[in-house]
Amino acid sequence: MIPKTAKFIAASGILSLFFTISLPLRAQDAPTPSVAGVSPAVATAQPAQAAAPDPGCTDRHVSWLGLTPNLLHDQKDIWLFPTSAARGHHWKPVLVFTLVTAALVAGADNPSGRYFQSTQSFHDFNSIFRDSHTASAMFAFPVMFYGIGLIRRDSYAEHTVLLAGEAALDSTILTIVMKDISRRVQPDQVAIGGDFRDTWFKEGGHPFGGIGSFPCGHCIDAFSIATVFADRYPKYRWIAYGLAGLVAFTRVSLQAHNPSDLFAGAFLGYVIAHYTVQQF
């Protein structure tokens, strides 16, 4: 039997690796500015300014005092999105989200749920990557990254963490409402051999409690945080999304969520972080 302390250390090790690798990271130099009347040679000789690596991203003003106004603005955009889609705007991502989610419910949720009901292969894995461990690690990494940014006086790193926090809060608010509406029963509550597709609108509980399994809360938070880091440090995006994918897998192996729940969480987390918070 592995001691609980050792299990937590192992669970945190993945994010610690990401943290260690990320310490020397700084924003890449901005592209050579195009200034009227200044030759390329002179422009190149100017000191490079720190900027967001992806020119498509607007480096949104973010601060602790500005976090609440930003959240209110984000939530307005999020909840007014259906009216925009109804007018024919952004119909492609809506169609992709709907079709892929429906396909996973129809073709993947049952095989996945029944497999993890019957196997003990992931017992040790699940004991390491349990809910509390992954949640703690997702919280600990941004805190450490922000602390390093303060020590190094790296405002880009500090802003990255604030944007990631904003994205996670936006995602959490949306998740609570969607869970209360869908009230989907978690896979570990389905009887052996039961139908994992017929689990909608059956979960009990009080309103605004964030009950139910659709979408996956861990997943939407992990992908919203990962997307901010991936966009602002693109050289290491594979690490960010790899860690988010690991968090997602733990949710099915623990029988807390179905594949369709994971896709919905990942998709929404990415969209909120990439388009609403960072305003690509």
Question: What pLDDT score does 212 carry?
Answer: 87
Answering whether pTM is above 0.75, one says: yes
Contact 175, 210 (CB under 8 A): yes
Reduce the DSSP state of residue 152 to 3 states and report it.
helix
Provide the H-helix boundaries in 30-130: 40-45, 67-86, 91-107, 109-118, 123-128
Domains of the chain: 11-277 (1.20.144)
Residue-wise pLDDT for 219-272, tens only, equals 999 999 999 999 999 999 999 999 999 999 999 999 999 999 999 999 999 999
pLDDT higher than threshold 70 for residue 10: no
d(CA 227, CA 243): 11
Question: What pLDDT score does 59 carry?
Answer: 62
Task: State the helix-helix crossing angle for 91-107 and 259-271, rounded to 10 degrees.
Answer: 160
Residue-wise pLDDT for 208-224, tens only, equals 667 889 999 999 999 99
Tell me which range, 80-89, 258-267, 271-280, is most confidently predicted by mean pLDDT.
258-267
